[in-house]
Structure 1
């Protein structure tokens, strides 16, 4: 493996660094963007029980706020529910914007890795071909070993760049989609909460 990296030239260093960064982001986002962590079902079910039994108080609101990103959004709305529907909705939107920002953390760097690694591979290809033509100019086409070295460098960097970019791009698209799905689910729960609190909707036996 080391010999392969060495054969690819100096541009293999940033490509390898990008691969490590991409892997770290993908693993971290897989862990962070779990639905059971972002919007756990028990959070909303417990909230409906509190509301139905009129047990909601400041201590439980603090517990709700710290339980999950969804709990943070709902607690933000409930803390301002007494000021009317519009203020409650604005509070929910304010908290939701911060939560969404947290959910999208590191996705821009992952997208950047997916974009620049093929360019690094292409740059390596250009440098490798320049070496090939420089060798031809100096020694002609008789020294096949030297020519093969430049061509090898060009092909290795291209392959390495694409090998990093493809999974990074797939991961980026996947996590963007997951964030969108989580946000839609949280929006639905927030709308339901506003309707319940302001008497436009009844809480049924299973929740709301």
Structure 2
């Protein structure tokens, strides 16, 4: 702890700015992880197969209840919108699914990209601290008296190195978290795109009698 306290003392305000960025990044990463991997997530294939069986059995009400059993998951919200228009025309089904998707997708995407921005900000703050520390060190070589030169030079180099290191310590995990969460975001969106189209085709086929034939 003493070494950390000393690093913050020599790093000055830049260390505290990077610390503030790290707090935001940790908060966003935890919140997005909980939502994307737990709240919005569902076994999409198994869920759709259950919905498909119920629709083919002409049991739309039970299919809607199945969606209500996972009210926070993203895909069931979109599927439910289509099921509520199951007895309408093709256009109404498509409009309902698209409207639900437009509501759900922004909630899946929000704040994830902020992690990449925070990682870049931490890096830039560390770089700025590095430049100012080097400027301070060069000024010490040029202007300081011999008895103060070594102390000021060490302080400038410490500012440069500490801010660089802390900036990278914050930036690297932030960018890794962004990579993982972006992958999960894309997976959820791809599932919505895939199974919403499958649902539309299923309901339209049902309306034309195709499901009954199956």
TM-score after normalising by structure 2: 0.82
Q: CA deviation at 1:26?
A: 1.6
Cα separation, 2, equivalents of 1:64 and 1:55: 16
Give, in angstroms, the shift of residue 202 of structure 1. 5.0
Which of 85, 101, 107 is the aligned partner of 1:96? 101
Partner Cα distance (1:133, 1:36) in 2: 53
For the 8 Å contact 1:121–1:157, the answer to whether it is kept is yes
TM-superposed deviation, 1:54: 3.0
Q: Which has more helix, going by share of residues?
A: 2
Displacement after TM superposition at 1:147 (Å): 0.6
| CA distance 1:155–1:141, change in 2 (3 Å) | farther
In structure 2, runs of 5+ residues without a counterpart are: none
Question: Which deviates more from structure 2 when the two are superposed, residues 112-121 or residues 40-49?
Answer: 40-49
What is the correspondence of 1:7-156 to structure 2 with a 5 Å cutoff? 7-34=10-37, 37-41=40-44, 43-57=47-61, 60=65, 63=68, 66-140=71-145, 143-156=149-162
* Contact preservation (8 Å) 2:25, 2:118: yes
Instruction: Determine which of 4, 23, 40 is the counterpart of 2:7.
Output: 4
- Check 1:44–1:67 CA distance in 2 against 1; reply closer, same or farther (3 A cut): farther
| Greater Cα offset, 51-60 or 124-133 | 51-60
CA distance in 2, matches of 1:60, 1:186: 19
Q: Deviation digits for residues 158-185 of structure 1, max 9, x if unmatched?
A: 1111121122112212222221122112
Consecutive unaligned residues of structure 1, counting only runs of 5 or more, are 204-208
Note the C-alpha offset of 1:66. Answer: 2.1
1:198 is aligned to 2:204 = yes
Identify the residue that residue 182 of structure 1 maps to in structure 2: 188
Give secondary structure in 1 for the equivalent of 2:87.
helix
Equivalent residues of 1:92, 1:190 under 8 A apart: yes
C-alpha deviation, 1:152, in angstroms: 0.7
